[in-house]
Amino acid sequence: MLKNKTVILGVTGSIAAYKIVNLSSMLVKLNCEVHVVMTKNALNFINPITFETITKNKCLVDTFDRDFEFDVKHISLAKKADIILVAPASANIIGKVANGIADDMLSTTIMASKAITVFSPAMNTNMYENAIVQDNIKKLTDYGYKFIEPASGFLACGDKGKGKLPSEELLVSYIIKEIALEKDLVGKKVLITAGATRESLDPVRFITNHSSGKMGFSLAKMAKLRGPRFYL
């Protein structure tokens, strides 16, 4: 479904970084090209070799790394990307991008890209609800960046509340929604009916069929990816 698509995964310093290993694997199985860009703080939680083994691409950390074919990596990757997903997105990376700071590989790649860029915040509840973080999120949203709402639950620090990274399945579905198909039905209205039909013969008898509605829902699922207003 994602063949010939390029996904950049930005990984920051959060315990939730381990989930991105499975996310990378799921995306590779969908036949897209996956590149991982890590912040230096992310190295405290996961080894780049893990991502390199799965994606078959060098995991980038250092903006001035000389161990690659000569090109300006944060520029070449930025041009290549169909989507950038920053997950887990720390308060730090959100604040950097919101205020135009580009001092590492991930922030410079984001700044240089015109691709769809999505942040999936993961942090302590109090950090996420901090007015400064919320202002930065609003600022980025106003600039056209997108956000995936964090999940609520038991956090690694022991607190309970909003701040968990959503499931890998949800992150994959978001990527599919954004880039799997061209949005050639934007502005159109689509109506799909699904399920069995029933036609009365008289007050007692009727004619029906065994339709499960699966085909209708499959059509709806694919149509929704093309961007129309939708009715089911």
Active-site annotation, residues: 157
What does each C-alpha distance from 194 to 37, 215, 217 come to in angstroms?
43, 7, 7
Write out the E strands in 27-78. 33-38
Produce one character per residue of 84-108: b if its CB has 16 or more CB atoms within 10 Å, e if not.
Answer: bbbbbbbbbbbbbbbeeebebbbbb
CA distance 145 to 114: 10
Terminal-to-terminal C-alpha distance of the chain: 23
φ and ψ at residue 178, rounded to 5 degrees: -80, -40
Scan for tokens 């308060």, then name that residue. Answer: 91
